[in-house]
Amino acid sequence: MHEEAIDAKPFPRGMLIAAGAMIGLSLIFAASARLWDFGATRVVYAPVVEQRDLMFADAVNGSVDVIDAGKKQLIAELKPGQDGFVRVVMRSMARDRTVLGGLPDKPFRLARHSDDALTLTDLATGEVVMLNAFGGMNRKSFEQFLAMGRTKP
């Protein structure tokens, strides 16, 4: 008898209308933001002063080879247990590349900007990682690749 009393009460009409209105407004706001770029955030990067296109390849001994993509030249070998930050960033970007359907043979672009920002861009997906955000030591682990293997003038 108690169950029948609960089932007999209708759901409050005002709550249904409020929920429907919230869903409708959310869809309208999302559509307007997409159509008219309302509320969009854009990152403007300073001009690039130095850059290098790199490939990262797993080696059979567990190392990661860092290759200058333009010259097809090995510039560094990251041994197992070393350069953990580089490995984490590259694994994350490789996973994102797989999910987004990026081409595995496209390089990554390491760039230093005029404001001293250091970025790593996946040229297959367009994803950009601001390396300065992870602190000086982690930044240096990537920054070293700009100079490695280059001949001095």
Q: Which residues form the domain of 32? A: 2-36
pLDDT at 114: 95
Instruction: Enumerate helices (H) and strands (E) in the chain, giving the number of each.
Output: 4, 6
Q: Which helix (H) or strand (E) holds 36?
A: helix 13-36
Residues 105, 79, single domain; the answer is: yes
Instruction: Give the phi and the psi of residue 50 in degrees, each rounded to 5.
Output: -155, 140
Q: Which helix (H) or strand (E) holds 79?
A: none
Total domains, the chain: 2
Which parts of the chain have pLDDT scores under 50? 153
pLDDT at 151: 55
Q: State if pTM tops 0.85.
A: no
pLDDT at 150: 63
Distance in angstroms (rounded) separating the CA atoms of residues 153 and 140: 23
Distance in angstroms (rounded) separating the CA atoms of residues 102 and 106: 8
Residues 60, 130, single domain; the answer is: yes
